Amino acid sequence: MSEKIPRQFYYFLTAFFVLNLIQSAFTELIFDEAYYWYYSQNMAWGFFDHPPLVALLIKISSLFFNGELGVRFMSCVISALNLVILWLLIDRPEKNRFIPHFFILVFSMTLLNAYGFFTLPDTPLLFFTSCFLLTYKHFLKDPKYSTAILLGIFMAALMYSKYHAVLVIVFVLLSNLNLVKSKYAWLSVLVALLCYAPHFYWLYENDFVSIKYHLYERPNDAYQFEKYTLGFFVNLIALFGLTFPLIYYALLKTKGKDLFNRALLFLTYGVILFFFISSFNRRVQTQWIIIICIPLVVIVYNFMLEHKQVLKWMVRLGIINAFLILYLRAGLIYQPLLFDFHYESHGNKTWVDGIREEVGEIPVVFENSYRNAPMYEFYSGGIPTFSLNNVMYRKNQYSIDTSEERVRGKKVAYLSKYINDNTFSYTKPDGWVYKGKYISDFDSYRKLECTLKEETVSLDGSDYHLQVFNPYNFDIELSKLKFSVAYLSPYKNTLGLKRIAPKPVEENLPFLTKKDTTHFLVEIPQYDTEKVGYIRIVISENGLYPGLNSKPIPVN
């Protein structure tokens, strides 16, 4: 770790860092960044979709800067540090004569380049993967308590970045099963678990909401080869652009001649195989496989140093890749460079100002948009927003935090595509049309929880035992609530709704008691038009579209 790095390396590194700072300052946020910025406004040990490290990066960035740089500054810092660590992972002494070639290689990797400034969960995931691999490399040479503890800390940091990080840990373990006999390896695991304990406790306190959503509740579609498996292979190419043939050629030709190289190969092939199998069940997003960029930088650069013909062509194609990436990066700032293509970093200030000009300083409720709600709050200077999620959408951070209380009882501007009595409308630069109206005394009860005592249902008119838990600190009048059954496809997409009238077990019940469960009998109507795989019991309040009040319940 004490290796002396040549001055030329730092020249390139400084240029990379400054470029990312400039890009960060002049590129508007993308929607996911706005969502994670919203996370950082109320720090916790976990959030609905991801562990908390991405929010921590933004929180630290905001201590130094405002605006976009106040979201991205730490991403620029750790992305630069990541290149240093990747350099230290390469042992060959001749590498000091090929520093520009190293930077051409890493700069030409499309998503590795993008995550040099975007603040997303993959940004710390990439950084801590490099940290983990460098520490593991030293652990293999000299296992001792200090290295084992550091390895455990980095394992926890990986898992605090993104749940996919478990693949990094598992595939490195599989590359060296003798680790199960090492007391130092077990110490690393213990340290990791201790460091990760606060997040485990957060999951427990929140009924494992993140795990349940990712594994069981998110909608899907029927398998399509072009969209799923072929799309997965397209993603493998998109990661590297024009250099992809050389990168995968280097991978195929590299052998695991020692335990560390074996770990790099297991990690790369393991992630590819895992998501290839996953592609038969769901669409694999490009960023899910970005983690292979870290071991491949080491594998490919070592291969380039051994095979000068490959190095020559990697430089040629990498330079073309780099110029294309620079052009696209400029297009993130100035849309006309991308012709008619509208990316999500374009026009956000414009549409926020347009809506704000109509509604003024009052809070804004977006129906079914955890993306637009935080973007509006960010660019409006902190005007409170809320994403009210209905049965046609999905749960998110707004479903579990206290943001509902920020708009309760207030006059709000309500923006949705599910309303017909709108008093104004607004068309965003991307063509999305919002219909809006004003609600003088906004109220919603999206945290009401519906469960059936029965684990499955039949659509035969039978009665079922419905339990409705009121988590709020106030009673809710039953007259304000309308119950429905939402019918879901086998892939958990909502097909339609039917109104139901649950009968309270307790007669003459006027309200749902605060912090208590109320019992009903309910009949589930038939739904014959399409095949039904699941149902939800959902609740509409104050004339709003029904929420996501129960988990999907299987139909037998």
Residues 329 and 460 both lie in one domain: no
Looking at residue 241, what is its pLDDT?
Answer: 92
Q: Are 345 and 30 in contact (CB under 8 A)?
A: yes
pLDDT confidence band for 2 (50 / 70 / 90): low
The answer on 321 and 359 residing in a single domain is no
Q: Do 93 and 74 lie in a common domain?
A: yes
C-alpha–C-alpha distance, residues 484 and 497, integer Å: 6
CA distance 151 to 153: 5
Q: Which two tokens stand for residue 322?
A: 């780099």
Final residue of a structural domain among 335, 367, 384: 335
Q: What is the pLDDT of residues 203-227, one digit of tens each?
A: 999 999 999 888 877 777 788 898 8
Residue 222: C-alpha distances to residues 152, 172, 274, 522, 531 (Å) = 40, 33, 20, 31, 13
Highest mean pLDDT among 160-169, 452-461, 502-511: 160-169
Backbone φ and ψ of 539, nearest 5°: -130, 135
Work out the mean pLDDT of the chain and round it to a whole number: 94
The C-alpha atoms of residue 554 and residue 556 are separated, in whole angstroms, by 6
* Banded pLDDT at 414 (limits 50, 70, 90): very high
pLDDT at 528 over 80: no
Residue 170 DSSP symbol: H
Q: How confident is the model at residue 201 (pLDDT cuts 50, 70, 90)?
A: very high
Query: Is 400 found in the same domain as 435?
Result: yes
Tokens of 164: 């996919």
- Same domain for 279 and 160: yes
What single DSSP character describes residue 503? E
Is the CB of residue 438 less than 8 Å from the CB of residue 410?
no
The tokens of 185 are what? Answer: 């390896």
**1 vs 136, more confident:** 136
Q: Let me know if residue 431 belongs to a domain.
A: yes
The pair of three-digit structure tokens given for residue 335, joined into one six-digit string: 């849309």
Which range, of 178-187, 207-216, 275-284, 379-388, averages the lowest pLDDT? 207-216
pLDDT score for 1: 47
Claim to verify: residue 121 and residue 73 sit in the same structural domain: yes
Percent of the chain with pLDDT over 90: 85
Residue 188 has pLDDT above 60, yes or no: yes
Name the domain boundary from 335, 360, 387: 335
pTM of model > 0.85: yes
Residues 194 and 126 in one domain: yes
- In tens, the pLDDT along 60-100 reads 999 999 999 999 999 999 999 999 999 999 999 999 999 99
- What is the count of structural domains for the chain? 3
- Assess whether pLDDT exceeds 80 at residue 21: yes
Q: Please tell me whether residues 266 and 328 are part of one structural domain.
A: yes
* 378 and 511 belong to one structural domain: no
pLDDT in tens, 101-142: 999 999 999 889 888 899 999 999 999 999 999 999 999 999
> Is 221 part of any domain?
no
In a domain, 342, yes or no: no
Which residues lie across from 439 on neighbouring strands? 412
Per cent of the chain over pLDDT 70 is 99
- What pLDDT score was predicted for residue 221? 79
In a shared domain, residues 284 and 201? yes
Q: What is the pLDDT of residue 86?
A: 98
Please report whether residue 22 resides in a domain: yes
Continuous segment of H or E residues that includes residue 437: strand 433-439
Confidence category of residue 529, pLDDT binned at 50, 70, 90 = low
413 has a pLDDT exceeding 50 = yes
Domain around 277: 7-207+227-335
Q: Looking at residue 509, what is its pLDDT?
A: 87
pLDDT at 332 over 70: yes
Q: Helices 7-26 and 99-107, interaxial angle, to 10°?
A: 20
Which residue, 292, 314, 335, sits at the end of a domain?
A: 335
